[in-house]
């Protein structure tokens, strides 16, 4: 099986968000931001490795659009067991997801794939769309937010969570899938994998993202929630809580 | 210019989230055309007029009996190309998240996704979306024509603006597509999804063991079918609750009117999923738990004493 996994370098969710002086971006240097492999992409990498292991043959390529430092993110995926990496190097990841999709689709066009995997969304920009956009650009079938997957030959069956149930979806390979939590339990890179990853091929290709059609106006902290109050301690406070929910918050 | 509001139906019945889509579309001015893909007539589709639609279009095809991503996307993209709309509005629901980017790509644009606010500024569309686990808000000007956007569910409270809308049914001829929904495994009857509930009661490790979630389920029942039970990542990872109940960064993002966090400490990754709730209540034995920092109302103490008392009080209100 020849599998591509498209990954993203994102700020760790525990990171403190400090807004840069331009009022439009994250202060990465001053804010001491820690970056990680996007958690949903870990499910995608894991699934690719399992599919390759099951087939007994194949190759898992990792593709990442990002700055030079994203080589580290690719190395994480290589340490998990992926075979090779490609960094589409750009100083800034475009704000317009369609520009990101165009660059990734152009890279993927250079080869034929049995599966192209993405995470369901990135935890920094919550776009949940680069996978389906790339599928459209490549003319491939796509199933998003996959939490269970069976593949027999060139036929796949995927499950995806919807409100109040689970959709069971049939699709043919090759296909683009985006991974949700529940698909698998991603492995941790072992020391042996980390050592091996240093020697695996990693191509760096400079790219020039287009301007796109989204323009950042401002990045701001969310409005402070009005200061909350501790109503009281123990079951004795419940009467007052209910009164406040009825009369002050008006939600009951 | 007209806004195209994409409604949702399941099993031939209009989904309530469609009211939010029409409400938000109406805000942009210039008239609203509501459109829905279905195999036949959609029960409740006329409600779009109640929320401000000027025209309601049902696109029908035998391929639309269940959600058919490729067929829906083709039909909607064709409609969008003919119509000359300024903006196309989807819900960022499970279906909308899947469908909006497919339609957008066919129109050669991306999606401004998961919005919590939208407005016109002169000719431009300006939208707001939470980023970085809700720790920042990104305000973006959308310059594409059309602009394709999706709305975070439960944020745009439906507002009634009754209109006399024209209705039209158009049979479309699109291929069924390669990706087909074989079946929907429905959750047990009466279970309300956390993504759609107006009231959510979520439990964390403080519940001590899976069986104790019955305390929260009783409270949910006391609200008479309006409440769902959610869960923190810790208890989902421990296998106590299904992933479909998880609220947070690797679960669902919710914005109910009332969110009650029980025995949940309030890790960033949990807050990412619920901080846009309208009113937050925290019940926790640790008075220093971070959840109290975002809660509007907190009660400190033993949840096993507090929650049953709360259930009694809510029953009295509804009894």
A55, pLDDT greater than 90: yes
Mean pLDDT on B291-299: 96
CATH superfamily of B3-171: HUPs (3.40.50.620)
Q: Which of A201-210, A224-233, B298-307 is predicted with the least confidence, judged by mean pLDDT?
A: A224-233
Mean pLDDT on B104-123: 94
Angle between the B303-318 and A238-247 helix axes, to the nearest 10 degrees? 50
A31, pLDDT greater than 80: no
CB contact under 8 A, B93 and A157: no
What is d(CA A129, CA A98) in angstroms, rounded to the nearest whole number?
Answer: 9
Q: Could you report how far apart the first and last alpha carbons of chain A are, in Å?
A: 55
A154, pLDDT greater than 90: yes
CB contact under 8 A, B131 and A126: yes
- Return residues 274-293 of B near A (CB < 8 Å): 275, 278-281, 287, 292-293
Mean pLDDT over the full length of chain A = 96
**ipTM at complex level:** 0.95
* Chain B CA closest to residue A221: B136
Residue B210 half-sphere exposure toward CB, CA atoms < 13 A: 8
Q: What are phi and psi of A181, to 5 degrees?
A: -60, 150
B148, pLDDT greater than 90: yes
Residues 6 or more apart whose Cβ sits within 8 Å of residue A250 = none
Angle between the B94-106 and B69-83 helix axes, to the nearest 10 degrees? 50
A188, pLDDT greater than 90: yes
A169, pLDDT greater than 80: yes
Residue of B135, B282, B295 to mutate, interface with A, max A Cβ within 10 Å: B135
Mean pLDDT on B130-154: 95
Residue given tokens 């509005």 in the structure block: B89
Mean pLDDT on A132-151: 98
Residue given tokens 């399941």 in the structure block: B10
Chain B contacts of A233, Cβ < 8 Å?
Answer: 299-301
Chain A contacts of B306, Cβ < 8 Å?
Answer: 234-235, 237-238
B123, pLDDT greater than 90: no
Give pLDDT, residue B189.
72
* Structure-derived torsion over alpha carbons of residues A39, A41, A42, A46, reported in degrees to the nearest 10: 160
Q: Do strands A84-89 and A59-66 pair parallel, antiparallel, or not at all (unpaired)? A: parallel
What is d(CA B150, CA B6) in angstroms, rounded to the nearest whole number?
Answer: 10
- Residue closest to A64 by CA, chosen among A129, A108, A110: A108
What is d(CA B243, CA B233) in angstroms, rounded to the nearest whole number?
Answer: 8
Residue ranges matching CATH 3.40.50.620 in chain B = 3-171
Instruction: Enter the pTM of the model.
Output: 0.94
Residue of B10, B70, B105 to mutate, interface with A, max A Cβ within 10 Å: B105
**B199-318 fold:** Rossmann fold (3.40.50)
Residue of A135, A228, A233, A242 to mutate, interface with B, max B Cβ within 10 Å: A228
Q: Which two tokens mark B148? A: 């394709």
Residue A16 near residue A210 (C-beta atoms within 8 A)? no
pLDDT band at B124 (very low <50, low <70, confident <90, very high): confident
Give pLDDT, residue B245.
95
- In chain A the domains, ranked by start, together with CATH numbers, are 2-206 (3.40.50.620), 222-252 (no CATH)
Residue given tokens 């929907």 in the structure block: B184
Q: Which two tokens mark B40? A: 């036949």
- Residue closest to B6 by CA, chosen among B57, B49, B46, B52: B57
* Chain A CA closest to residue B317: A252
CB contact under 8 A, A239 and B313: yes
Q: Which two tokens mark A189? A: 């890179």
Q: Output DSSP code: residue B155.
A: T
Residue A103 near residue A207 (C-beta atoms within 8 A)? yes
- Return residues 239-258 of B near A (CB < 8 Å): 243-244, 246, 249-251, 253, 257-258
Chain A contacts of B243, Cβ < 8 Å?
Answer: 147, 161, 181-182
Nearest to B193 among A143, A163, A172 (CB): A163
Longest dimension (CA), chain B: 61
Chain B contacts of A178, Cβ < 8 Å?
Answer: none
At residue A230, the 3 state secondary structure works out as strand
DSSP alpha helices (H): ranges in chain B?
17-27, 47-50, 69-83, 94-106, 214-222, 233-237, 268-274, 291-294, 303-318
* Structure-derived torsion over alpha carbons of residues B165, B1, B95, A52, reported in degrees to the nearest 10: 160
Residue of A39, A42, A139, A165 to mutate, interface with B, max B Cβ within 10 Å: A165
Percent of chain B with pLDDT over 90: 92
Nearest to B295 among A128, A228, A239 (CB): A228
Mean pLDDT on A57-71: 97
Mean pLDDT on B183-202: 89
Give pLDDT, residue B318.
83
Q: Is B159 on the interface with A (CB under 8 A)?
A: no
Residue ranges matching CATH 3.40.50.1220 in chain B = 199-318
Nearest to A126 among B113, B280, B299 (CB): B113
Q: How far is CA A191 from its chain centroid?
A: 24
Distances (CA, A) of B53 to B153, B165, B223, B242: 19, 6, 32, 38
């Amino acid at each position: 099986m020849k599998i591509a996994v498209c990954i993203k370098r994102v700020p760790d969710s525990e990171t403190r968000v400090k807004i840069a002086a331009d009022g439009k971006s994250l202060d990465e240097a001053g804010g001491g931001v820690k970056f990680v492999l996007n958690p949903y992409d870990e499910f995608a990498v894991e699934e690719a490795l399992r599919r390759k292991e099951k087939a007994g043959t194949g190759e898992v390529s990792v593709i990442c659009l990002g700055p030079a430092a994203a080589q580290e993110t690719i190395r994480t995926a290589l340490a998990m067991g992926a075979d090779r990496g490609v960094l589409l190097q750009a100083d800034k990841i475009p704000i317009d997801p369609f520009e990101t999709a165009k660059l990734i689709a152009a890279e993927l066009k250079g080869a034929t794939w049995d599966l192209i995997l993405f995470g369901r969304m990135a935890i920094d920009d919550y776009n949940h769309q680069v996978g389906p956009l790339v599928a459209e650009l490549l003319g491939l079938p796509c199933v998003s937010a996959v939490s269970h997957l069976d593949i027999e030959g060139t036929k796949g069956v995927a499950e995806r969570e919807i409100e109040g149930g689970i959709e069971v979806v049939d699709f043919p390979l090759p296909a683009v899938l985006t991974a949700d939590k529940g698909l698998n339990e991603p492995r941790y890179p072992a020391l042996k994998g980390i050592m091996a990853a240093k020697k695996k091929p990693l191509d760096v290709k400079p790219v020039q993202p287009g301007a796109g059609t989204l323009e950042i106006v401002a990045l701001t902290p969310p409005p402070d929630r009005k200061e909350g109050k501790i109503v009281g301690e123990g079951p004795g406070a419940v009467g007052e809580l209910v009164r406040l929910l009825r009369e002050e918050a008006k939600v009951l | 210019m007209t806004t195209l509001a994409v409604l949702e139906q399941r099993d031939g019945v209009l989904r309530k989230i469609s009211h939010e889509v029409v409400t938000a579309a109406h805000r942009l001015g210039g008239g609203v055309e509501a459109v829905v893909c279905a195999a036949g007539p959609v029960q409740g589709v006329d409600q779009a007029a109640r929320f401000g639609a000027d025209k309601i279009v049902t696109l029908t095809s035998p391929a639309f009996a269940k959600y058919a991503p490729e067929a829906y996307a083709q039909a909607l993209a064709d409609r969008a190309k003919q119509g000359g709309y300024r903006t196309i509005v989807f819900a960022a629901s499970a279906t909308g998240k899947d469908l909006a980017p497919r339609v957008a790509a066919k129109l050669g644009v991306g999606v401004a996704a998961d919005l919590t606010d939208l407005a016109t500024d002169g000719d431009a569309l300006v939208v707001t979306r939470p980023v970085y686990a809700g720790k920042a808000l990104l305000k973006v000007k959308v310059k594409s024509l059309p602009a394709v956007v999706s709305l975070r569910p439960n944020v745009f409270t439906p507002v009634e603006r009754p209109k006399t809308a024209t209705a039209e049914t158009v049979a479309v001829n699109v291929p069924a597509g390669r990706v087909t929904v074989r079946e929907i495994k429905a959750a047990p009857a009466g279970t309300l999804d956390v993504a759609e509930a107006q009231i959510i009661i979520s439990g964390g490790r403080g519940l001590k063991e899976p069986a104790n979630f019955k305390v929260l389920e009783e409270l949910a029942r006391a609200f008479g079918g309006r409440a769902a039970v959610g869960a923190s990542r810790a208890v989902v990872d421990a296998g106590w609750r299904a992933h479909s109940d998880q609220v947070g960064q690797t679960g669902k993002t919710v914005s109910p009117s009332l969110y009650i966090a029980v025995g949940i400490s309030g890790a960033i990754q949990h807050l990412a999923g619920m901080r846009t709730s309208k009113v937050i209540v925290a019940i926790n034995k640790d008075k220093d738990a971070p959840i109290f920092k975002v809660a509007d109302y907190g009660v400190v103490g033993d949840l096993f004493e507090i929650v049953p008392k709360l259930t009694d009080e809510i029953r009295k209100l509804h009894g």
